[in-house]
Amino acid sequence: MTETTGFRWFRRLTLGFLAAFTLLPLYVLVTTSVKPLEDVRGLFTWVPERVTLAPYVDMWSTIPLARFLANSLVVTVSATALALAVAILAAYPLARLRFRGERVFAMTVLSTQMFPGILFLLPLFLLYVRTEDLLGVELTGTYHGLILTYLTFALPFSIWMLASHFSAIPEGLEEAAMIDGTGRLGALVRVVLPVARPGIVAVGVFAFVTAWGEVLFASVLTDDRTRTLSIGLKLYTSQVDTRWNELLAASLTVSLPVLVAFLLVQRHLVSGLSAGAVR
C-alpha cells in the first residue's frame, strides 16, 4: 500500500501513544513486584534501585494464596469443561438441524448474555439458600454453587461462537460420514469436533478467562474455605501495611496462565468473534 509521510506520522504518533498507555501499568506491575517493600513506599521510582525475588516467595505466606489459587482452578476448570460440553451439544442443532422453537432458544440465549450479573445476583442467592433449606444441598459457599453459576454464564457466548464455527464447516463432511452409517451424534463427534477444534479451544479459553476473572458472584457465593483469587487477593490490602510488592507479584503470577492461553488462541478467538459481530 502506498504510504504518505502524513500517514507515517499518524501511525507513529498513534501507536506510540497507545503503546505507552498500554505498557505503563504493565511496566509498573512487573517492576514493583521485584522491589523490596521499603523501596515501594515513598515516591515511585521508575527504575528499581534494588531487585529481589523475595516478594514471589513471601506472597505465599502473607495470605493463603495457594488455597485461593486451588479454589480458582477447581471452579474455573470444572465450569469451563462443563460449559464446553453443554455448549457443543446446543450449538450443533442451532447450526445444522431445524427444529420448532429454534429461534426462541437462540434469542433467549443471546438476550441473557446482555443482562448484567447484578440482576441475577440476589434472586440466584435466594434460590440457592432455598434449595439448601429444602433439599439440604449446600450451594452458597461451595464449589458446585459457583461452578453452576459460571457454567451458565459462559453458555450464551460459547453457544453463539460454536454455532458460527460449526456453520462454517462444509456439510458434505457429515453427509459422507452419515452415508457410511454414522448417526448425527457420531458425525458430530468424529467429523465436526476435530475440524472445529481450534474454535472449540478458543471458546474454552474465553470461558476460562471469564470465569477466572469473575468478581461479583464470587463476592457473594464464596466463603473463607472456597474464596477464589478475584476476592482473595484483596486480603493483602487488609494488612496493617499493604505489601504492594507481594500483591503485584501475586497478581502477575495468577495472570500469566490466562494471558498466555489467551494470546495463543487469539487468532481463532478473533475470527470467531468477528464471525458473529462483523460479517
Partner 1 sequence: MSTGPDRPARPARPAGAAPPPGPGAAPPPPARPPAARRGAERRRRSLLPYGMVAPAALLELLIHIIPMALGIYIAFTSLTQLTIRRWTTAPFVGWENFAEGLDPGGALGAALYQSLWRTVVYTVCVVGLSWALGMAAAVALNSRFRGRGLLRTLFLVPYALPVYVTAIVWTFMVNQRDGVVNRLLVADLGLLEERPFWLIGENAFWVLVVVSVWRLWPFAFLMLLAALQSVPDEVYEAAAIDGASNWKRFTAVTLPVVRPANGVVLLVMGLWTFNEFDLPYLLFGETSPESARLVSPLVYEHSFVNWNFGLGAAMSALLLVALVAASALYIRAVLPRRRA
Binding flag, residue 25, partner 1 (CB under 8 A) = yes
CA-based diameter of the chain, in Å? 74
Smallest gap from residue 176 Cβ to partner 1 (A):
11
Stretch binding partner 1 (CB under 8 A), from 47-55, 57-65, 194-202, 267-275 = 267-275
Binding flag, residue 80, partner 1 (CB under 8 A) = no
Smallest gap from residue 261 Cβ to partner 1 (A):
8
Binding flag, residue 278, partner 1 (CB under 8 A) = yes
Phi, psi of 104 (to 5 degrees): -60, -45
C-alpha cell at 231: 476476592
Binding flag, residue 152, partner 1 (CB under 8 A) = yes
Query: Which CB sits closer to partner 1, 2 or 136?
Result: 2
Binding flag, residue 159, partner 1 (CB under 8 A) = yes
Using CA atoms, how far apart are residues 108 and 260, in angstroms rounded to an integer? 33
- Cell 498500554 maps to which residue? 22
CB 80 within 8 A of CB 147: no
Complete DSSP assignment for 21-65: HHHHHHHHHHHHTTS-HHHHSSS--SS-SS--SHHHHHHHHHS-H
CB 189 within 8 A of CB 241: no
Smallest gap from residue 82 Cβ to partner 1 (A):
9
For residues 88-147, which are near partner 1 according to CB under 8 A?
89-90, 92-94, 97-103, 105-112, 114-124, 126-127, 129-130, 133
- The amino acid present at 143, given as its one-letter code, is Y
Stretch binding partner 1 (CB under 8 A), from 52-60, 63-71, 194-202, 268-276 = 268-276
Binding flag, residue 209, partner 1 (CB under 8 A) = yes
Among 7, 51, 137, 197, binds partner 1 (CB under 8 A): 7
